[in-house]
Structure 1
């Protein structure tokens, strides 16, 4: 399958998505369309259980396409629509039933940082520059960066990063809890592959999807409502063949052979 500005390779039940829009992999309408179409395809492929997103070349995604922003100057409605396009795609990623891991191999700025925040997990090169520089352009983040960042970091730190437009390295992002791991550049994709394959080959899809649903939907509810959702999903697991296999394998002291049913 071919997608606009997006490549896909499947290996060992992991789908490797590569943003390919030189020179800096900037996000534009075509790239969002390509990414959305790629997600459609991945969702239909039972073979793919985990997704890794990275950027071609030395960049992850260095931001949004400023040319499109320039075309919206003087038209607030068009600006709002530009923001909503990115928000819809990144919302979809966050709610995706298959885990998405960002492999941040280089500059991850503006819209690229917002893309990474929409992923379930993040692995970054130690020296990769990350941040939200939109205020330097007289703008604010438009792809839910103000919202997702404030749900990960304390409010005061979020505001500092927004108003100063300061960049951080992958190492600093790890210290703040924004990325799961910061590793040398040459280890970014191997680390993402290791993590993705551990999930894809050792866990059943029913439980993977339920765990993501419990966390993502539970965070938007009260604690009590989140508990109720967890209990409901826990009960549904007992209707799956995977749960029967997992429990039987535990009792028989062997490795389970999940079938994702």
Structure 2
């Protein structure tokens, strides 16, 4: 694997450990990091030495604490729509449809785009200090990287509505009860547990693994739902409340929505 600015890669025993390396920014997903994730996954999917991928975040605080809001704070509706479409196509759907198994090792905050990244992975394991949520409505937005669809698939419509409409975070323990994550473990056990589970998966037929992922992804999957999210996400950018939400976030104050 080549060297990346915002990613660390480590290949051990056919498992690629992929670490998002923006600890000072709580590993937020900026444009460059998303481009590197796309490039890295394309390379990994075409590398016969790599059989499975484990994604985590650098440091002890955050897996990924969201998107880099400064980058889209002045976007219009069309730019917002393109942001969601490009991200979904090049990164989140690429991961979800990967023929090789992908595990998210959630080592801290997984918020907004960070939780959407984890949900695009096939299996999620979180440390007990992790907090998970989709806070986009507090910015005058909605999730734009598949969050409305994947959260609903994982936890059901009622809980997905509650989490998205309140913008509240939940604990790893609650996330496990809801089925949002597979396991909540101690921080020390996070990578060992993820590795052990990946090793068990990789002991099975790779063709069967790929076929199972494809078949499970086809269950109750509506492409129109993802397109509806992209359209609705884009439309939020034309509202004054989006401008207020982002301004409040950047100024570290409470938003005054109208």
Kindly report which structure 2 residues correspond to 1:30-109, keeping only aligned pairs within 5 A, or say none.
Answer: 30-58=32-60, 59-72=62-75, 75-88=76-89, 89-109=91-111
The alignment status of 1:196 with 2:207, answered yes or no, reads no
- Corresponding position: 1:161 with 2:180: no
Check whether the contact 1:60–1:104 (CA below 8 A) recurs between aligned residues: yes
Distance in 2 (alpha carbons) for counterparts of 1:146 and 1:211: 23
Rg: which structure is higher?
A: 1
Question: How large is the Cα RMSD of the aligned pairs?
Answer: 1.3
2:107·2:129 contact (CA, 8 Å) conserved in 1? no
For residues 84 and 160 of structure 2, the distance between their equivalents in structure 1, rounded to whole angstroms, comes to 20
Q: What TM-score, normalized by structure 1, do the two folds share? A: 0.81
**CA separation in 2, counterparts of 1:12 and 1:4?**
24
The aligned residue for residue 233 of structure 1 is: none
SS of the aligned residue for 1:36 comes to helix
TM-score of the superposition, structure 2-length normalised? 0.81
2:56–2:104 contact (8 Å) kept in structure 1: yes
> Which portions of structure 1, spanning 4 or more consecutive aligned residues, are displaced by more than 3 angstroms?
218-221
Paired residues of 1:20 and 1:56 also in contact (CA < 8 A): yes
> Structure 2 CA distance, aligned partners of 1:31 and 1:220?
27
- Whole-Å separation in 1 of the counterparts to 2:134 and 2:171: 13
Give distance in 1, aligned partners of 2:79 and 2:119: 24
Deviation, 1:204, is 2.2
Q: Which runs of 5+ in 1 are unaligned?
A: 222-261
Deviation at residue 218 of structure 1 after TM alignment: 4.1
* 1:39 shift after superposition: 0.4
Q: Return the offset for 1:71.
A: 3.3
RCO higher in structure (CA 8 A, sep ≥6) = 2
How many residues align structurally? 218
In the TM superposition, residue 83 of structure 1 has moved relative to its aligned partner by 1.3
Output the CA distance in 1 between the equivalents of 2:153 and 2:201: 25
Alignment of 1:132-171 (within 5 A): 132-171=134-173
